[in-house]
Amino acid sequence: MIKAVLLDLDNTLLHSDERQLVGEYMRLIEAFLQRLWGESGLSEVLRDAVHNLTQQRDAQTTNNDLILERLSLAVGHEPDAIRAAFTDFLTAYYPSLKRCTEQVPGAVEAVERIRARDLALVIATNPVYPAEAIRQRLEWAGLPASLDTYTLVTTADNMHFVKPDPAYYAEVVARVGVEPDEAVVVGDSLANDVLPAASVRLRTFHIGGSAHSTIADGAGTLADFVEQLTEEHWGEDLPPPAMKPEAVEPQLWGNVGALFGMLADIQPSYWMQHPDPNEWSIIQIVCHLLESEDAVQRPRLQRILDEDNPFLTNPPPPPGPQSPPCLSDGLEAARRFANRRQETIALLRSLPAAAWDRPARHSVFGLTTLLEMALFTAQHDRLHLNQLCQTLGRCK
């Protein structure tokens, strides 16, 4: 069942000539920064910083922080000063780029009808621009400009991956509390939207694609998608997405990005608070992810690799909500979890193709394989990430 719709923005909800829009943006930012600091060539530094976001990432640092770090090295100003400069630029100069865009007929109705279905609605635009830029583009599209209108709007400020990295889509679904096959991505680009989303087992609808194509789960216009979506049982008869090794690493990394996104801006006093006496605190949820990675998830995968058809049992129940957390510093626990996850990914990245089919028997799942258990590790993450976002009150 579909529970979340991820709508691309550019050329899905808002028409634009990307080359013209980016060119004008870079021209304006170059002139602005040259007037401000007397240096030229900073737009190229910005372009390179954005391009570097597609490289291998640690999943702990937001896209915007990485861009600011790169610019800081180039201009010799602190990241906070650069952030303030960009805030001024977005207020005074960015609105002029509206001339490079046109509204998409039916976009407003599409968003209204999706919201009426009580589905999680994500504006899944490539998160290389700050939130204020995305807010303005939503306004240009004729859509509600308040980001709080939507379950999630992906921006450079809140995301840790960019398109076309499949980890971007894995991060999104973990942030909104759904499984990959419970979400559908609607976008115009095969390279940025359809193919990477499908590779991590999301549903896809290709705007502008042929209805006879088998690349996506559906294709046509935005109106065609909304028409399908409003059918009573739409999505229920789609076959389950195939389990493929290519889905494992981006799901495991995307979940780490989602964790750090959820933990951003938590007040120190909140870490130890329990939403209910029988529920874990925030720090206990993070500690469980860390402890499970070390004691259960990676050892279980290693055992399937080391033994012939091993019999796997469920681990003992984790400690209750009254037990002390593994550390007093929740962010340090999250960082250690990210480091342990990197070890798990390194183990899996080195495997030959045949290893993914290695069999095992599980006391609950029955006959299984290394691939299925690796994807279960990602599902285990999402179970507790959903628990976390419910505790924080940040889920739909």
Angle between helix 370-392 and 166-176 (nearest 10) = 50
pLDDT tens-digit readout, 108-159: 999 999 998 889 999 999 999 999 999 999 999 999 999 999 999 999 999 9
Confidence of residue 301 (pLDDT cuts 50, 70, 90): very high
pLDDT of residue 65: 96
Q: Write phi, then psi, for 155 (nearest 5 degrees).
A: -135, 170
Which residue in 74, 100, 121, 80 sits closest to 15, CA to CA? 100
> Residue 104's beta-bridge partner residues?
none
In the chain, domain spans: 1-242, 245-392
Which residue in 60, 30, 106, 68 sits closest to 257, CA to CA? 60
Average pLDDT over residues 372-378: 98
Q: Which residues contact 227 (CB under 8 A, 6 or more apart)?
A: none
For 252, what's the count of Cα atoms within 13 Å in the CB-facing half-sphere? 27
pLDDT of residue 256: 98
Q: Write phi, then psi, for 85 (nearest 5 degrees).
A: -65, -40
Alpha helix ranges (H) inside the chain? 18-37, 42-52, 63-75, 79-92, 107-116, 131-140, 166-176, 195-199, 222-229, 248-263, 282-292, 298-306, 330-349, 370-392
Return d(Cα 310, Cα 302) in angstroms, integer.
11
Confidence of residue 253 (pLDDT cuts 50, 70, 90): very high
Q: Is 245-392 a CATH 1.20.120.450 domain?
A: yes
Return d(Cα 35, Cα 156) in angstroms, integer.
25
Q: Are 180 and 200 in contact, with CB atoms under 8 Å apart?
A: yes
Average pLDDT over residues 381-389: 95
Q: 238 or 89: whose pLDDT is higher? A: 89
Confidence of residue 395 (pLDDT cuts 50, 70, 90): low
pLDDT tens-digit readout, 345-354: 999 998 999 9
Is the pLDDT at 231 greater than 80, yes or no?
no
Q: 214 or 78: whose pLDDT is higher? A: 78
pLDDT tens-digit readout, 180-195: 999 999 999 999 999 9
* CB neighbours of residue 91 within 10 Å: 11
pLDDT of residue 396: 47
Tell me the one-letter amino acid at 107.
A
pLDDT of residue 394: 61
Average pLDDT over residues 278-285: 95
For 159, what's the count of Cα atoms within 13 Å in the CB-facing half-sphere? 31
Q: What percent of the chain has pLDDT over 70?
A: 98
pLDDT tens-digit readout, 53-101: 988 778 999 999 999 999 999 888 999 999 999 999 999 999 999 999 9
pLDDT of residue 232: 63
pLDDT of residue 390: 87
First to last CA, the chain: 16
> Residue 123's beta-bridge partner residues?
7, 153
For 220, what's the count of Cα atoms within 13 Å in the CB-facing half-sphere? 12
pLDDT of residue 367: 97
Give the pTM: 0.96
The enclosing H or E element of 16 equals strand 14-16
Which residue in 56, 51, 53, 54 sits closest to 345, CA to CA? 56
pLDDT tens-digit readout, 307-359: 999 999 989 889 999 999 999 999 999 999 999 999 999 999 989 999 999 99
Q: Do domains 1-242 and 245-392 have the same CATH topology?
A: no
- Average of per-residue pLDDT values in the chain: 94
Average pLDDT over residues 257-278: 92
Q: Are 225 and 205 in contact, with CB atoms under 8 Å apart?
A: yes
The CATH-assigned architecture of domain 1-242 is 3-Layer(aba) Sandwich (3.40)
Strand order in the sheet with 359-362: 311-312, 359-362, 366-369
Q: 369 or 2: whose pLDDT is higher? A: 369
Express the helix, strand and coil content of the chain in percent, nearest 5 each: 55, 10, 35
Q: Are 32 and 211 in contact, with CB atoms under 8 Å apart?
A: no
